[in-house]
Amino acid sequence: MRAVVIEGFGGPEHLVHRELPEPEPLAGHVVIEIKAFGLNHAEMHMRRGEWAEAAPVSGIECVGLVKSCPGGEFPAGAKVAALMGGLGRTVNGSYAEYTRAPVSNVASIESDLPWEVLAAIPETYATAWTCLFRNLEITPGQLLVVRGATSSFGRAAIGLAVDAGLRVVGTTRDRRRFAALEELGAERGELEVPDLSRHIAEAKDVDAVLDLVGNSTVLDSLDMLRRGGRACLAGWLGGLGPIAGFDPLRQMASGVHLTFFGSFVFGTPGFPLSDVPLQDIAERVAAGRLRARPSRVFSFEEVREAHRVMEAGEAGGKMVVVHA
Q: Domain boundaries in the chain? A: 2-120+279-322, 123-261
Nearest to 36 by CA among 126, 110, 97: 97
Residues shown for the chain: 324
Helices (H), 146-277: 152-163, 178-183, 218-223, 248-251
- DSSP letter for 87, please: B
Top-level CATH class of 123-261?
Answer: alpha beta
**Which residues are 297's β-sheet partners?**
320
Instruction: Please state the pTM of the whole predicted model.
Output: 0.93
The three-point CA angle 81-259-268 to 5° equals 40
CA distance 145 to 202: 10
Superfamily of domain 2-120+279-322: Medium-chain alcohol dehydrogenases, catalytic domain (3.90.180.10)
Whether 123-261 and 2-120+279-322 are alike in CATH topology: the answer is: no
**Amino acid (one-letter) located at 279:** Q
Q: What does each of the 324 residues of the chain score in pLDDT, given as a tens digit?
A: 999 999 999 999 999 999 999 999 999 999 999 999 999 989 999 999 998 789 999 999 999 999 999 999 999 999 999 998 889 999 999 999 999 999 999 999 999 999 999 999 999 999 999 999 999 999 999 999 999 999 999 999 999 999 999 999 999 999 999 999 999 999 999 999 999 999 999 999 999 999 999 999 999 999 999 999 999 999 988 887 888 888 888 888 999 999 999 998 999 988 988 899 999 999 999 999 999 999 999 999 999 999 999 999 888 889 999 997
